[in-house]
Structure 1
Amino acid sequence: MTCLPRKQHLQFRGPIVHYIFLLLYNWLLHFRLNIQTHFRAKLQSLEQKMEKGQLRAYKAHCLILPYPSQGHINPMLQFAKLLDHKEVRVTLVTTRFLYKTMHSSGSSCAAWETISDGFDDTGKGDTNIDIYLERFRQVGSKTLAKLLEKLSNSGSPVDCVVYDAFMPWPLDVAKKLGIAGAVFFTQSCAVDNVYYHVHRGLLKLPLADGQSQILLPGLPALDPLDLPSFVSDCGSCPAVYRMLVGQLSNVDKADWVLCNTFYDLEEQVVDWMAKLWRLRTVGPTIPSNYLNKRLKDDKEYSVNLFKSDNDACIKWLNERPKGSVAYVSFGSLAELEDEQMEELAWGLRRSKSSFLWVVRESEATKVPKGFIEETSEKGLVVSWCPQMEVLAHEAVGCFVTHCGWNSTLEALSLGVPMVALPQWSDQHTNAKYIMDVWEVGVRAPTDEKGVVRQVLVKQCISEVMEGERGKEIQKNAAKWKELARKAVDEGGSSDKNIDEFIAKLQTQS
């Protein structure tokens, strides 16, 4: 091969270098344009996500763990929505079995995670409550700790575990990992106060024979039958009694005590209990659409363990005059005796009012034979319904209720008068307040067997929906509705308490 002279070689190399330089320049220019396009697209994507609320700067991260039942999930899920609205990241936690059985409307306020209660495949079923709670404590503690570690390792550590008072053990798990803990009470402060005095031995049980009144700080004078049923009759269900009193077992170690109530509703007892702990009222935790509409499209709790025919209920109500319907429901757990169910049914038939009666599938066989057909022109019986939407409907004139705390708060928040038929647990204390303290309803008297007879069912509905006393009750109901709205509105007592809770989390995180 003949080599070119050096001069010719340099002359030949010049165009090649220039050509390579042009190629490199064009490549760099193209690369720069690609980078600009890529980052512009990324920026647009981030902006779109921020507009949709998919990407946010959070003030803190709360893990919320309700006891696995409808009445406990609802208020704590609603609290989660309020935190999310105030720019707190929320992780909701339930058991693996319950997660598989939930009916969700697709609420996007929080991510769901699961832990084990030891009954992942079958649920607790008829398992003894003592056995279930102990198994849940053992297995739940381990799986909750793993979940908290997973969230920490993913770059989003939890700042506070908000746990249901029915399960004290999540606080122990949180403390071991250096995380703050806030206990969330889903019953009234009045009831919590009773359990506190029992737990501390300040209210001696069983009650003395002939004891006519119980005097506790912050509460009105209570008759024995005004106390929670597991206190007035502490031997009726020892396992549940231990669980309810056990709510206070480690409450002194909690960083916060949050209560689903509002200050004006229970002012005296809240003031007294706030001397013991950092207690704050954060309720009523019900969908915002029925209070102040601060949360967009917040019309329901978003999670149900029961299926309901919403359209049929509302269509039926739409055909009824204003204030003409007695809405009857005993919640997700209460079970009426056959005799009480029959008396209630015939009382509704004898009443002048139309009625919408929720009878869960598990209770359906207790409805008297032929009753549904005989009353089809004035009544509708369903297995479940959208309670908030029903209570808000103008056709509803009163709520015949078991006085569960969620139902009581919902009726108060919507200004619906009540006929109280308490069955068990905290419901007797709530009924006392409904009739004698808040004066928003009447308590149906029972006979020596503890049954409300049909004539009294009819009489109580008539008393609330008609006559002079009914007008006074309706006026009081409207007053509490307004006070509930003010509590959760911007600057209201519950709203300020939630803001304070968040601010403290920010300083510690």
Structure 2
Amino acid sequence: MGLNKHVLVLPFPAQGHVNPLMHLSHKLVQHGCKVTFVNTEFNHKRVVHAMNGKVSLEGSKVELVSIPDGLGPEEDRNDLAGLILSMERNMPSDLERLIRDINSMDGGCNRITSIVCDTYMAWGLEVAQNLGIKGAIIIPSSAAIIALEDNIPKLIQDGIMDGDGFPIKKGKFQLSPNMPNVSIAHMPWSYFPDEFTQKTIHHYLAKTIQWSHLTDCWLSNTTEELEPGALSLCPKILPIGPIKESPEFRSLGQFWQEDLSCLNWLNQQPPCSVVYVAFGSITMFDPNQFKELALGLQLTNRPFLWVVRDDYSNNNLYPDEFQCTNKGKIVKWAPQQMVLKHPAIACFISHGGWNSTMDGVSNGVPFLCWPYFADQEIDKAYICEVWKVGLGFDKDEKGIISRWEIKKKVEELLGDEDIKGSSKKMKDMVMSNIASDGKSTQNFNKFMKWLGE
């Protein structure tokens, strides 16, 4: 297959979206495509900084480029409502200009032939349509979340919520008999502290689904066995998961430099002994919860590997009585797929974002779920209730997960042979999908054929 396929890949500007789209990009390259990967300027700088100033890795046919998100350098990218309103207003015209520029270079022999957009950047499909280029979407969350968003009009019609996404009824509902129940209080937009942000995100998600329907090609980092109910509700979805990282280009796309010293440390730990603790790129803890987590890990009296990002460790003081010593290792950012593959890992204390869920499930690691926002409650329901590969934590009367609860649940999980057995079975089932004759491999080959048509 020649290099005449040139795919532009457009991720939503968050680490949990850039990572799976970068893994997909490397898969495309392995199948003979050239990839132009478009970050926002703000995130492009972070990625290049984490790679010590490089804009590509030797041998990689992924080229990193950027367009502005429309916000000024002093504006807060953690204000999600402000970010998405600015992106929707400013980025489509800049993306179109970028594609026209690329297509006019070298006499047009390096033209963009297709666009793959993150679902949450599906306005890119309108740009593709304007330019006569074929477009697809890639879903970095669970298929269940897309099924939920695709059913927003029905949820409004059924009187479950109003037109701005605010609940009318209380309790739970179920979109399909094979899907977990969803609490009306746990909609992806309902975790934000103010009504303006909730409303803005609800309307943006409703629009992204409408844009997504501009194509029939919906790729998803899931498998048929994991989400049969959601996939039957959204027949456009082509499951190609688990999307694994490419070992030789693993660090491309990280916002922080990975600390590889944790792998040497893991080599020194007994098999199935280490509690791995990581909450993704966004989760923040208040100081009281941070201290309880530290003391809870200490109380387990087990080796632990804890990822504490700079942006929240600087705001939280470790309690005086907390001793990391030789029992624990704290790093700022970890090579997660390599960590979860390591035989020393016993369990994964996780926020349960979809990437982490797929990483844990495809390595057979049992979970302790600590959801934070967005889709994570639904992911927790899959993990604990549907697949039975993990447990959740209970909060005390102050809304805190105490150190004693952490110790208790670690002991309970690691003593549960049923959960360990289910985790192992789930791993074998999920990984069979990416064997040479697996369903996800077949689906990916269908997509490659579609790209070449």
TM-score (norm 2): 0.89
1:99 counterpart (41, 44, 50):
44
CA distance in 2, matches of 1:194, 1:446: 27
String of CA shifts for 1:168-189, please: whole Å, max 9, x gaps.
3211111111111112211001
Q: 1:233 to 1:362 in 2, by over 3 A?
A: closer
Structure 2: which amino acid aligns with 1:350?
L
1:242 matched to 2:242: no
Q: CA deviation at 1:445?
A: 1.7
Q: 1:309 to 1:128 in 2, by over 3 A?
A: closer
Aligned to 1:212: 171
2:26 counterpart (81, 87, 95):
81
1:284 matched to 2:230: no
Q: CA deviation at 1:409?
A: 0.6
State, as a whole percentage, how many aligned pairs show the same letter. 27
Q: 1:462 to 1:492 in 2, by over 3 A?
A: same
CA distance in 2, matches of 1:399, 1:484: 18
Q: Secondary structure at the match of 2:61?
A: coil
Q: 1:81 to 1:341 in 2, by over 3 A?
A: same
Q: Once structures 1 and 2 are overlaid, which stretch shifts more, 384-393 or 241-250?
A: 241-250
Q: How does 1:354-373 map to 2 (within 5 A)?
A: 354-364=303-313, 365-372=315-322
Q: CA deviation at 1:89?
A: 2.4
Q: CA deviation at 1:202?
A: 4.8
Q: CA deviation at 1:83?
A: 1.3
Q: Once structures 1 and 2 are overlaid, which stretch shifts more, 393-402 or 159-168?
A: 159-168
CA distance in 1, matches of 2:337, 2:140: 18
Q: How does 1:406-425 map to 2 (within 5 A)?
A: 406-425=355-374
CA distance in 1, matches of 2:349, 2:78: 31
Q: Once structures 1 and 2 are overlaid, which stretch shifts more, 432-441 or 331-340?
A: 331-340
Structure 2: gaps (5+ residues)? none
Q: How does 1:117-196 map to 2 (within 5 A)?
A: 117-119=69-71, 122=73, 124-126=75-77, 128-154=79-105, 155-196=109-150
Q: How does 1:273-422 map to 2 (within 5 A)?
A: 273-274=234-235, 278-288=236-246, 297=248, 300-311=250-261, 313-364=262-313, 365-372=315-322, 374-422=323-371
Q: How does 1:454-473 map to 2 (within 5 A)?
A: 454-466=403-415, 469=416, 471-473=417-419
CA distance in 2, matches of 1:280, 1:226: 29
1:270 matched to 2:216: no
Q: CA deviation at 1:117?
A: 1.7
Q: CA deviation at 1:124?
A: 4.9
Higher helix share: 1
Q: CA deviation at 1:128?
A: 3.9
Q: 1:420 to 1:217 in 2, by over 3 A?
A: same
1:57 matched to 2:2: yes
String of CA shifts for 1:76-128, please: whole Å, max 9, x gaps.
01111111111222221112232222123826131222222224x72753574
CA distance in 2, matches of 1:197, 1:143: 31
Aligned to 1:445: 394
Q: How does 1:421-436 map to 2 (within 5 A)?
A: 421-436=370-385
String of CA shifts for 1:457-481, please: whole Å, max 9, x gaps.
1111111222xx2x21111111221
String of CA shifts for 1:11-43, please: whole Å, max 9, x gaps.
xxxxxxxxxxxxxxxxxxxxxxxxxxxxxxxxx
Aligned to 1:258: 219
Aligned to 1:22: none
Q: CA deviation at 1:370?
A: 2.3
CA distance in 2, matches of 1:194, 1:360: 31
Structure 2: which amino acid aligns with 1:411?
G
1:475 counterpart (402, 421, 425):
421
Contact 1:260 1:281 (8 Å CA) reproduced: yes
Q: What's the RMSD between the two structures over aligned residues?
A: 2.4
1:90 matched to 2:18: no
Q: CA deviation at 1:228?
A: 3.7
1:497 matched to 2:443: yes
Q: 1:380 to 1:349 in 2, by over 3 A?
A: same
TM-score (norm 1): 0.79
Structure 1: gaps (5+ residues)? 1-55, 290-296
CA distance in 1, matches of 2:437, 2:207: 34
CA distance in 1, matches of 2:74, 2:443: 36
Q: 1:202 to 1:90 in 2, by over 3 A?
A: farther
Q: Once structures 1 and 2 are overlaid, which stretch shifts more, 144-153 or 320-329?
A: 144-153
CA distance in 1, matches of 2:77, 2:449: 43
Q: CA deviation at 1:453?
A: 1.8
Q: Secondary structure at the match of 2:347?
A: strand
Contact 1:345 1:367 (8 Å CA) reproduced: no
CA distance in 1, matches of 2:356, 2:240: 17
